Amino acid sequence: MLNREDYLVSVYITTYYHEAYIAQAIESVLCQKTDFPYEIVISDDASQDGTQAIVREYAEKYDNIRYVFNERNLGLTKNVFQAKTLCRGKYMVQLSGDDYWIDERKLQKQVDFLEAHPAYFGVATRLECRTNDSQTADFLLPCPEICGRTFRLADFLSGTNFPTNGFLYRNQIQEKYDFFSLMPGFSQYIDDETDCILYLMLGDVYIMPDVTVAYRRQIESDTSHNFNSINKGMDKLRKHIDLLNSIHDYFGDEIDLLHRYKLALGPELFKHYRFHTHEQFARIYKSIPACYRKRHLLLLSILYIPQKAADVLRRGKK
């Protein structure tokens, strides 16, 4: 049996009511073909279904799996951060308990890249967005234009996204503990927005064109416990804006969030008029720092709507 420090990669899996999916997630990691040892760290956020029983069963069979079960629900971001602190590999990579990997050489490809390119902080891949249990992709992320090249903080702040799902990066969690702990402090509900900023502040990211991850879009929300299913409309927007406001409060002028606010507001504008949520929208908009509202943020958000529609059509073509 290997010691913890012998693992080159730590795969951390976060779970919450993933009884129907967690076995597939774990199996997709176990089938990885690598020339190095890796561990699987699972952090369950007090699920009350059969998730924990399935995790225990796998941990009893495989020495490289360990887990922690929270006695009370911590919330998404605290659970993700907790999982990160348990990782001991040189590299670490996240997998949600309801998603899975579709390339058995995913880890090997990403590790080979970072070993050969020490200047990069991490390496991302493309993912397939699949509806429920579908085996075919609805669309791919990210857009082809940013694949096969370097992705920097300026790209993210300009409004371009890269997927943190399946993102493999250098483990600096212990020496930069306070820095990484900003993520759960900014929001209880949203991890990827802050993670992208923190990662890119530490170094550039390479976007591989390889498709290695299946991201499950759960349409049957009555049986789902993820953020998009639990939160709807204005409540979802408010939490996103609260997150951006917290990032602004901490970093100030060091980071320009104008286009991140635009991306949050734009898709909700038509919905807010359709469902007559004017007062709610106005309260949320007024909570945004004046320095951004003075820069014609509302107009930029309106102009973003046709661009968003074009992006949806384009990504559907894969």
In the predicted model, is pLDDT for residue 25 greater than 70?
A: yes
Residue 315: what pLDDT? Answer: 54
Region 27-38 average pLDDT: 98
- What is the distance between the alpha carbons of residues 72 and 80, in angstroms, rounded to a whole number? 14
pLDDT in tens, 73-119: 999 999 999 999 999 999 999 999 999 999 999 999 999 999 999 99
| Pairing of the two strands 38-44 and 9-15 | parallel
Region 228-241 average pLDDT: 76
In the predicted model, is pLDDT for residue 318 greater than 80?
A: no
- What is the distance between the alpha carbons of residues 27 and 167, in angstroms, rounded to a whole number? 18
In the predicted model, is pLDDT for residue 316 greater than 50?
A: no
Region 310-315 average pLDDT: 53
**Better-scored residue on pLDDT, 282 or 155:** 155
Residue 154: what pLDDT? Answer: 98
Main-chain dihedrals φ then ψ at residue 43, nearest 5 degrees: -120, 115
Residue 317: what pLDDT? Answer: 47
Residue 132: what pLDDT? Answer: 79
Residue 267: what pLDDT? Answer: 79
Taking all residues of the chain, what is their mean pLDDT, rounded to a whole number? 90
Of 63-67, 119-123, 158-162, least confident by mean pLDDT is 158-162
In the predicted model, is pLDDT for residue 221 greater than 80?
A: no
Residue 139: what pLDDT? Answer: 82
In the predicted model, is pLDDT for residue 291 greater than 90?
A: yes
Of 216, 214, 215, 212, which Cα lies nearest the Cα of 106? 212
pLDDT in tens, 121-144: 999 999 999 887 788 878 889 989
pLDDT in tens, 292-302: 999 999 999 98
Contact, 77 vs 189, CB < 8 A?
yes
Residue 222: what pLDDT? Answer: 42
- What is the distance between the alpha carbons of residues 222 and 214, in angstroms, rounded to a whole number? 21
Residue 136: what pLDDT? Answer: 81
Main-chain dihedrals φ then ψ at residue 81, nearest 5 degrees: -65, -40
Q: Could you tell me the sign of the dihedral formed by the alpha carbons of 49, 50, 55, 60, in that order?
A: positive
**pTM, whole model, 2 decimals?**
0.90
In the predicted model, is pLDDT for residue 310 greater than 60?
A: no
